[in-house]
Chains A and B, each alone.
Chain A
Amino acid sequence: MESLQHLEAQLLEALKDIKTDAALNDIKAQYVGKKGHLAAAMQTMKTLPAEERPAFGQAVNALKTVLLNHLDSHQKALNEAAMMARLEQEVIDVTLPGVPFEQGSKHILSQIIERIEDLFIGMGYLIKEGPEVESDLYNFEKLNLPADHPARDMQDSFYIDEHTLLRTHTSPVQVRTMLAYGGEKPVKIICPGKVYRRDDDDATHSHQFMQIEGLVVDEKTSMSDLKGTLLEVARTMFGADREIRLRPSYFPFTEPSVEVDVSCANCEGQGCSICKQTGWIEILGAGMVHDNVLKDAGYDPTKYQGFAFGMGVERIAMLAYKIEDIRHFYTNDQRFLTQFKDDQGGLEE
C-alpha cells in the first residue's frame, strides 16, 4: 500500500521535466499503461488475502483516477504552452494602418436637398419632380407670366424651340401637380431639381443650378403659415437661434410677394462683411399664390389660397459653409466633396 501512495508523488516529480507530448505519452504509459506501474500493482493483488482484495482494488482504481487527472492537467498545460508559443510567432505591429475601406461622399447639394426634404416630410409634405425640358405653358404662361413679360426674354432662358425651353425654375412642377390634383385636392409639396438660366458661369452665377420650391394650397393656409414654415427652414439650415425678416417684393406668380432674409450667423446680426453690414442675408423668395396661377391650375381663388416659396440650393450651401465660388459644386474636386460630412440635420430629442 505504501508503494501505491508513493506513485502519485513519483509521477508529479517526473512530470516536472516533461515538455513534449511524446514524453508525456511515455510517462502516461509508464504509470497507467498496460505495462505500467498501476498494472503491475494490480498483478500483486493476487498475492493478497481474498478479504483484502476489494479494498486494494478500489485503492488502485482511485489512484488511477488521480494519476489520470494529473496527466490530463499536464497535457492541458502543454497544449497551452504550445498555443502560446505559436501565438508568439504571430505577433503583429498593431500600430500599422488598417486595411482601408474607401468611403465615398454624398454631394453637398444632395446633402442639403435631403436635409430640407426631411424637414418638409416631417411637416407632411410630398416631394414632386418633373421634366427639365419644359413647355412655355408650364414654365411661364400658367405662372402669370404672359407672353410679353420681360422675365421671358431670350437672354434669360435656354430655348429648344418656340414653345420649349429648359425650365428656369421648378415652378412648372407645382403647376403640373395642381393640374393633376384637379382643382380640389389640397396641395402640400416641395419640388427640388435642376434648373437653367442663360447666364455666363462665374463665381456667383451658374447656367445650371438646383432649386427647391414649395407649395401649399388649401382653404386656409396663410401668410403667417408661410412665415412660420420659412422660419423652420432658416433654423434647420443656419442654426436654432436664427430669425427671419420678410421684405415686400414682386414676383408674377405670388401676391403678396416677399424676399426673406435670415439673421447673419457670422456676426449675430451685428453687421459684418458677409451680410454687407446689414445683419441680414437674403435666402429666398416667397409669397401667397397669385389668383391667376390658382385659376389657371383649376383652383377657385375665391375658395382656395396658399403659399409658395423657392430657394437656390447652391446659395444655401454657400452661406451655410462659406463657400466662395459656385463653380466648385460642378467641378466635383474630391478634396472639396469630402469636406462635407453627411452628419447634419435631425431634431433634438
Chain B
Amino acid sequence: MNVSLKWLKEYVAHQATPDVVAQKFLEHAQEVAHVKPLSTVQGLKVGHVLSCEKHPNADKLSLTQVSLGDETLSIICGAPNVAADQKVIVAPVGVTMANGLTIEKVMLKDYPSEGMICSLEELGIDKKYHGEEGIHVLAQDAEIGADALAVMQLDDVVMELDLTPNRADLLSMFGVAYEAAALLEAPLTIPYPTIEESLLSNPMKISTQTSRCEAYYGRVLDTIEIRESPQWLKSRLIASGVRPINNVVDITNYVMLETGQPLHAFDYDALGSQEVVVREATEGETFKTLDGHIRQLKAGDILITNGNVPIALGGVMGGFDSEVETTTRSVLLESARFHPTSIRHTSRRLDLRSESSMRFERGVDPQKTRYALERATALLVQYAGATVREGIAYFDHYERKDALVELSLSRINRVLGTQLTVTEVSALLERLRFSHEPGECFYVTVPTRRQDIQTEQDLIEEVGRLYGFNQLPSTLPKLNTLGGLSPKQRRFRQLKNRLNTLGLHEAVTYALVKKETLSRFTFASSADAVQLKNPLSEDRQVLALTPLNGLVDTLRYHQSRQMTDTAFFEIGKRYTTNEENDILGLALANDALTHWQGNQAHDFYRLKGLVDHVLALYGLTATYQAVTHESYHPYQCAKIFLGDMHIGHLGALHPSVAKTYDLKHVFLAEINLTQCELHKRVNAPYVPISKTPIIQRDLALVVPKTTSAQRLIDVIEQLELTHFKDVEIFDVYEGEPLKDTERSLALRLRFNNPQKTLETAQVDEAIETVLKALKKSLNITVRDA
C-alpha cells in the first residue's frame, strides 16, 4: 500500500515528519518498505512562456522567453509542444533533476539557455502514470513564480507499507488514518458526503441468486461529462501508484483507495436492461472482460448480469460491452460485497489480480459498502457534473455485528509480562477508537473496519503493539527444567568431533536426488523411496536413500578442481515411506598428497578402520562379508553385519563407475546409525585389571587365498577355550616360498587367567586344540619356519 502522506494529512491533523510517521508505523504497526518524496526535484517554478521562436541554428530547438514573475529567463527548449502563452514547469539554474543532473547556464548553438522547461518524467514521475511526450503544460490559472510541485500537488512523500495479510484495513486511506491517529495521538476527521438527488427516480432492480454476493448497492447518475480529473486527484492517484484515466474511473479508484471498498461504473445506456441479477457462472460459460479477452468461466465465479447477459465478472473485472467511454452520459455505480474465497479462486485462476480483487480477497469493511457509493456519488457530482437519480437500488444480506470482546487486564499483563493499569489500557483502546467499558475485565466493541480482531488474543496484540513491544522488559522464562542433549544427540556430536579429528570434513548435501541414481551407491531398495508430486527439476525429484549420492557429488566437485586429497562424511538420512533412518556416509578419495615422510593413501582397509572406529563409539564390533554391487569393485566390497543384521557396507567405487563421475580411487561406506543406536552396547560393566600376566602365542599359518581371515577367527572363537582372551591378525604374507594360491597369516592369540598365572602346559594344550580345529575345519597348517 502506497500511502500519500499529503493525503493522510487531510484526515489526521499531525505535525510529525515523514520519517517519524514511518518510524511509528514500523515499530507499532507494519513494515515500511520505504519513505520517498514523489519527486526529489526542489526549486521548480511556474513559468509563463512569453515568446517562443524557432532557433535560427537548430531545427528542433525553440528559443523562449519565460517569465518567473520577478525575472525572465531565456530558455532553449527541445520539446515540440512548447508554445507561447503556456504555463510551464521551469527548472532554473542550480536545480537538480530526478536523474541527478544539475541545470547550468549553457550556450546552445550560439544562444544562451538559463534553465529548463520540464516534462513530468524529468521530475521523476514515471511515464506509466501520464503517458505524456514533451513538456508538461500547466493549467492557465497557475500562479507565475509559484513552486510548481506544490501547484501540481506533487510535493508529496510516499510511504510504502508491506502489509501482512491480517491488516486488510490498511488497504484504505481511512484505515491508515485510523492507525496514524492512534500512533501519533492526533485528531481524526473522516468526511461525510451529502447528496442532493434529482426528481428522476432510480429505476434499477437489483437481486442475487448466489450467497457469494452478500450486498449490492447501485445508483444511477446522469449528465456525466467525461473529462480529465482535477490535478489534486490525479496527483493523489499517482502517489498511490494508480494511473489516472478520466474523472469517472479516477473517482471510483480514488474512493476505493480511500475506503478500501472497490467500486465499478457501468455505462448505464449500454446495460441493455434496468436490472442487475448476480449469479454464479455455469461451467464453461464465456465472458468478454473490458480488456478485450474472452474468459473461460467455472462454476463458482460470480457474474453480474443484466438479467440476461453478463455485464461484469463480480469483484474481478468489468465487461467489455458496458465499459465507461468518453461518450458515456449516464452510469450505474456499483458498490458490492463479494465472498473473499470466491474472488481469490477466480482472480488466481484467470490471473486477473487487481487492486479490486486484492481488497475483496482480504475482506472489506461492511460499513463501507454504502458509504463508498455515496462518497463516489458526491465526487461525481462535484467533478463530473453528475445529477443523481433518487434512491439507491440494493440488497444487503450481510449480517453486520460489532464484535464484543472481553479483555482481561490480568491476561494482558500475564501474556505481555507487563504491569499495565486499567487507565493505561483504557487509554490505548481510546487511541485505537475502540469503544469499551474499562475494568479488570474490559468489554470492547471492535468496529467493523477491524475484521481481523475477534478474540481476546487479537486485542492483546493490539494493546501490546500500541504500547510498544520494544518497551517490554527483557526477562527469561521462570520455568525451571533440565536442559541437555539426548544420548543420541550426544553421540552424534562425538561422532562428528571424532571424524573431524581423524581428518574428515563434514558435508551437508541436498536430500533430494535424481530418481535414476537412488540405488547407485547403496544396497537399500528404491521400492520404498519417497517421490515428490511436484518437483522443481528431475535432478531433485526423490528423497535419497543414502548421503553417498551427495558425497560423491562433493568428491567430484573437488577432483574437478584438482583437489584430489579429500575425505568427507555426512550424517544424512534414508527416507522411505515408512521411516527415516540416520545414515552415516563416508567418502574418501585417494590421497595424492605425498608427504616427504611417506605416502598415506586411502584404501579399503583405512576405510574399514574408520568404520570400526565409528562402531566402537556404540560399543559394537561388526563382521564383514564380501559382496558384489554393480557400482563397486567386484573384489573390494563388503557388507557390514551386526550378528546377522546388515547395517551398511563399504567398498572401492568400481573404476568404470568412477570414470563416469570423472573420479579416481574412491572409497565409500555407509552405516545405519539408527540401527547402531538400537543395538548399542555402551556402559559395559567395569572389570578390574588382571594382576596375572597375559600369555601370548603367535601362529604363522598357510592359508588358501580363498579362505577368508574371518573364517579362521570364527573357528578359533567358536572353540570357546578356557582363559582365551582374544586373537588378532598381525601380519599377512604372500609370495615365495608360498604357492600362488596361498598366503600366510600371522595370528596372535592371547590367554589370561585373572585368578592364577597360566602354566605353559595349559597354553600349549590350548594351542594344540586350535591347530587341530583349524586343520579339521579348514585344512590349515602351521607354516614351516
B503 touches A103 (CB 8 A): yes
Q: Which of A99, A133, A210 contacts B575 (CB 8 A)?
A: A133
Stretch at the interface among A33-41, A68-76, A215-223: A215-223
Q: How far is the CA of A330 from the CA of B568 in the complex (A)?
A: 13
Using Cβ atoms and an 8 Å threshold, which residues of chain A touch B445?
A: none
Are A255 and B416 in contact, with the CB atoms below 8 A?
no
B506: Cβ under 8 A from any A Cβ? yes
B485 touches A121 (CB 8 A): yes
Nearest CB of B to A279, in Å: 12
User: What separation, in Å, do the CA atoms of A332 and B506 have in the docked complex?
Assistant: 8
A298 to chain B, nearest CB (A): 18
CA distance A161 to B535 in the complex (A): 12
Which residues 150-182 of A sit at the B interface, judged by CB distance below 8 A?
Answer: 150, 154, 158-161, 166
Q: Is the CB of A106 within 8 A of B503?
A: no
Chain A residues whose CB sits within 8 angstroms of the CB of B502 once the complex forms: 102, 104
From B26, B458, B477, residue with most partner A Cβ within 10 Å = B477
CB–CB B580/A132 < 8 A: yes
Contact indicator B500/A288 (Cβ below 8 Å): no
A249: Cβ under 8 A from any B Cβ: yes
Contacts of B506 in A (CB 8 A): 104-107, 110, 337
B27 sits at the interface (CB 8 A)? yes
Interchain CB contact under 8 A, A124 and B511: no
Flag B465-496 by CB within 8 Å of A: 1 or 0 each.
10001101111111111111110010001001
Cβ B28 vs Cβ A332 within 8 A: no
Q: Does chain A have a CB within 8 A of B40?
A: no
Q: Report B-chain residues with C-beta under 8 Å of the C-beta of A334.
A: 505, 558, 563, 566
Q: How many residues of B contact A (CB 8 A)?
A: 83
Number of interface residues of A (CB under 8 A): 83
Taking a contact as CB atoms under 8 Å apart, the answer to whether A131 and B580 are in contact is: yes
Give the residue name and chain of the A residue nearest to B458 (CB): A255
Q: How far is the CB of A70 from chain B (nearest CB, A)?
A: 43
B507 at interface, CB cutoff 8 A: yes
What residues of A have a CB within 8 angstroms of the CB of B418 in the complex? 224
Contact of A107 among B416, B464, B507 (CB under 8 A): B507
Q: Please give, as numbers and ranges, the residues of chain B lying within 8 Å of A125 by CB-CB distance.
A: 481, 483
**Residue in chain A with minimal CB distance to B28:** A248
Give the nearest-CB partner of A217 in chain B: B479
In the assembled complex, the Cα of A110 lies from the Cα of B568 at a distance in Å of: 14
Interface membership of B715, Cβ < 8 A: no
Q: Give A188 to B457 CA distance when docked, in angstroms.
A: 22
Is B416 touching A198 in the complex (CB atoms < 8 A)?
Answer: no
Take A198-B534, A246-B469 as given contacts and tell me if A224 and B474 are in contact as well, using a CB distance cutoff of 8 Å. yes
**Complex interface: chain A residues within 8 A of B367 (CB):** none
Nearest-Cβ distance from residue B86 to partner chain A, whole angstroms: 41
Q: B510, A330: Cβ atoms under 8 Å?
A: yes
- Residue in A133, A227, A301 whose CB lies within 8 Å of B473: A227
Is B165 an interface residue when CB atoms closer than 8 A count as contact?
Answer: yes
| A225 proximity list for chain B (CB < 8 A) | 417, 475-478
For the complex, give the distance between the alpha carbons of A161 and B536 in Å: 15
A166 contacts across to B, CB distance below 8 A: 532, 543
Any B CB within 8 A of the CB of A183: no
Q: Is the CB of B500 within 8 A of A258?
A: no
| Nearest CB in chain B: distance from A313 CB, A | 10
Cα distance, A335 to B508, chains bound together (Å): 15
Q: Establish whether residues A305 and B554, one from each chain, have CB atoms under 8 Å apart when the complex forms.
A: no
Give the contacts of A241-282 with B (CB-CB under 8 A).
245-250, 255-259
Does A346 count as interface, using CB distance less than 8 angstroms? Answer: no
- Closest residue of chain A to B532, judged by CB? A158
Q: Mark A74-110, 1 if CB is under 8 A from B, else 0.
A: 0000000000000000000000110111111111011
Taken together as a complex, chains A and B put the C-alpha atoms of A122 and B476 apart, in Å, by 12
Verify if A239 is at the interface (C-beta below 8 Å from B).
no
Enumerate 7 A-B pairs (CB-CB under 8 Å) in ascending A order. A102-B567, A103-B503, A125-B481, A188-B479, A224-B475, A225-B478, A337-B506
Residue positions of A touching B, CB distance < 8 A: 96-97, 99-107, 109-110, 114, 117, 120-127, 129, 131-133, 148, 150, 154, 158-161, 166, 186, 188, 194, 196, 198, 200, 207-208, 210, 216, 218, 220-225, 227-229, 231-232, 245-250, 255-259, 288, 290-291, 301, 305, 329-335, 337-338, 342
In the complex, besides A220-B479, A227-B474, 4 extra interface pairs with C-beta distance below 8 angstroms are: A103-B503, A106-B496, A150-B165, A329-B508
What 6 A-B pairs are tightest by C-beta distance, nearest first?
A: A224-B417, A222-B417, A102-B503, A250-B164, A246-B469, A228-B474
